[in-house]
Amino acid sequence: MNATIGKLLLQRFAFAALTLLMVSVVVFMITNLLPGDAAEESLGQAATPEAVAALRAQFGLDQPAPLRYLRWLGDMASGDAGTSLVNGQPISELIGKRLPSSLVLAAATAAVSVPLALALGIISAMYRGSLFDRAVNMTAVSLVSVPEFLIATLAVLLFAVKLRWLSALSHTADIATFGAFLKAYAMPVFTLCCVIVAQMARMTRAAVIDQLNSPYVEMARLKGAGPVRIVLAHALPNAVGPIANAVALSLSYLLGGVLIVESIFNYPGIANLMIDAVTTRDIPLVQACAMIFCGVYLLLVTLADVLAIVSNPRLRNQ
């Protein structure tokens, strides 16, 4: 690794850390703007102002916002997410119970969407202008235009209500066979893949076409190289950076789409836990879940930048 690549990577990691710090400020401010708090939710509407004030003082909600932010940031930096204001359990335990389920859903979605999207994007680029290319582009644009909650609702109506092939809810506790796994994850993965595959395929197609229009590819054609060899040996190695960005940006969609998907299918993941925390005004739990989502998004984008820098032949050859 030369000095130029090392400097660029150091800048990317420093920028990611600074961005995460700024995100923590925004998350803390937005969560504190939510109407009501855990004290009011716990005591109910019949609680007296004195009881609410006493419970707020017990939770530390009566302290100034800057002081609460600094204390919360210090605890998060040390790995302590705090304690739930609703049930008194450590937030790390609550998240630890739900995080594996969300990771399984994300891994299953990525395992299906990434190979399928890359194959569609590359083949569309190889045969651009053909009937296959037009069909893929039209389908991708249509899927991107449809919100994920509508796709999930239509999937439930078709596969659960009409055909009765699958359950409307994702029961993941009693999975013992691969068939049971497919039934439990079929509709959530299908819903998430619809938009992810469409976005990733379009960006992959654009990245490969950009390389196919390069002079070195034209030289390879003049030397008699076939279309498959041109794509695999010449275009793809130089399109790794843009394709990595396409994969990272498309997978980051999981962070937003999974909120709706887990809610509709009652999937026991971290997104559903965050929705419940917002309902009960469990602010520390909401903040911890939001920081996890933002951290994963920054990690994906930073990894895509790193791969784009390392795979750049101009920087490697300096």
**CATH code, 118:** 1.10.3720.10
Cβ atoms within 10 A of the Cβ of 34, count?
A: 11
**Residue 195: inside a domain, yes or no?**
yes
**Residue 1: inside a domain, yes or no?**
no
Residue 163 per-residue DSSP state:
S
What confidence tier does 133 reach under pLDDT thresholds 50, 70, 90? very high
Q: In the chain, what are the helix, strand and coil shares in percent, each to the nearest 5? A: 80, 0, 20
**Residue 72: inside a domain, yes or no?**
no
**Residue 11: inside a domain, yes or no?**
no
Closest among 183, 195, 191, 199 to 263, alpha carbons compared:
191
pLDDT, residue 214, reads: 83
**What does each C-alpha distance from 94 to 12, 68, 86 come to in angstroms?**
32, 22, 12
Global pTM reads 0.81
CA distance 74 to 94: 20
**Residue 77: inside a domain, yes or no?**
no
**Residue 82: inside a domain, yes or no?**
no
> Tokens 């009937």 correspond to what residue?
131
Closest among 292, 289, 277, 288 to 85, alpha carbons compared:
277
Closest among 287, 264, 267 to 173, alpha carbons compared:
267
Backbone dihedral angles phi then psi of residue 226, each to the nearest 5 degrees: -75, 165
Q: What is the pLDDT of residues 54-65, one digit of tens each?
A: 777 777 777 888
- Asked whether 289 and 273 are in contact (CB, 8 A), the reply is yes
What confidence tier does 36 reach under pLDDT thresholds 50, 70, 90? low
pLDDT at 317 over 60: no
Cβ atoms within 10 A of the Cβ of 103, count?
A: 12
Residues 6+ apart with CB under 8 A from 13: 302
pLDDT, residue 184, reads: 84
**Residue 294: inside a domain, yes or no?**
no
User: Angle at the Cα of 153 (from 148 to 158), degrees rounded to 5?
Assistant: 125
Q: Which residues pair with 83 in a beta bridge?
A: 90
**Residue 298: inside a domain, yes or no?**
no
Torsion sign, CA atoms 287, 288, 290, 291:
positive
CA distance 201 to 118: 6
What confidence tier does 40 reach under pLDDT thresholds 50, 70, 90? low
Q: Which residues pair with 90 in a beta bridge?
A: 83
How many domains are there within the chain? Answer: 1
Burial of 115 (0-12, 13-18, 19+ CB in 10 A): exposed
Section 2-8 average pLDDT: 78
pLDDT, residue 50, reads: 74
Q: Which domain holds residue 117?
A: 92-279
Q: What is the pLDDT of residues 144-191, one digit of tens each?
A: 888 888 888 888 898 888 888 888 777 776 677 888 888 888 889 999
Q: What is the pLDDT of residues 42-55, one digit of tens each?
A: 666 666 777 777 77
pLDDT, residue 80, reads: 83
Q: What is the pLDDT of residues 252-305, one digit of tens each?
A: 777 767 778 888 888 888 888 888 888 888 888 888 998 988 888 888 888 888
